[in-house]
Amino acid sequence: MSSKRKQNDQAAMEAAIEACDNGSSIAAAAKLHHVPRTSLQRHLDQRWNDEPPQRPGPKPRVPTEVENDLFIWIAKMQTKGRPPTQAYIVNKANQLAKKLKRPVVSRHWYKSFQKRQPLLTTRMAQTINRSRNAVTSTNIEEFFTKIVATNIASNSPAIC
């Protein structure tokens, strides 16, 4: 079964665009080159419009620049060892949206935000037993001091 949409000839469309560039009207060029006038108009509008094409649908709740700043903030928090939770990120985005007089965001916005920022991931901490969790830098220093003392006492070659 064939599709009902007609696939226009790209060469004919380019010829019609060229005719419009040479001073022909859009309707005359469309009729002469057998392409739909509305398609020709759309191609010309996209070419004449310096702005990048916008996505369909409502305006984003948080502008792209603000989302990028939010992503940078999250990355900095992670490098400091304090990664923000989903609730904290949504709360921060709501504060920014309120300042920009935009609608509030939800957890669904957060899921889409994660898709738009592929470097941002949610990780679950691995649970470890109490003995491993109780290790401190002091314990490690004492352990290596004992190893060095044992090596010196037994006249073994140094590990370090």
**Measured distance CA(12)–CA(23) in Å, rounded:** 17
Q: Please check whether residues 36 and 76 belong to one and the same domain.
A: no
Which tokens sit at 142? 């004492």
- Summarize pLDDT for 84-124 with one digit per residue, the tens: 889 999 999 999 889 988 888 888 899 989 988 888 877 77
- DSSP symbol at 5: S
Answer whether residue 3 shows pLDDT above 70: no
pLDDT value of position 29: 93
Domain that holds residue 72: 64-116
Q: Please check whether residues 70 and 108 belong to one and the same domain.
A: yes
- DSSP symbol at 127: P
pLDDT value of position 2: 55
Task: Give 4's pLDDT tier (boundaries 50, 70, 90).
Answer: low
Cβ atoms of residues 44 and 25 within 8 Å: no
**Measured distance CA(95)–CA(89) in Å, rounded:** 10
| Structural domain contains residue 80 | yes
Q: Please check whether residues 44 and 84 belong to one and the same domain.
A: no
Domains held by the chain: number: 2
Find, among 118, 16, 124, the residue nearest to 75 by Cα.
Answer: 118
> How far is C-alpha 153 from the chain's CA centre?
58
Cβ atoms of residues 7 and 21 within 8 Å: no
| Structural domain contains residue 148 | no
Sign of CA dihedral 143, 149, 155, 160: positive
Which tokens sit at 37? 């006038």
> How far is C-alpha 51 from the chain's CA centre?
21
> How far is C-alpha 19 from the chain's CA centre?
41
| Structural domain contains residue 111 | yes
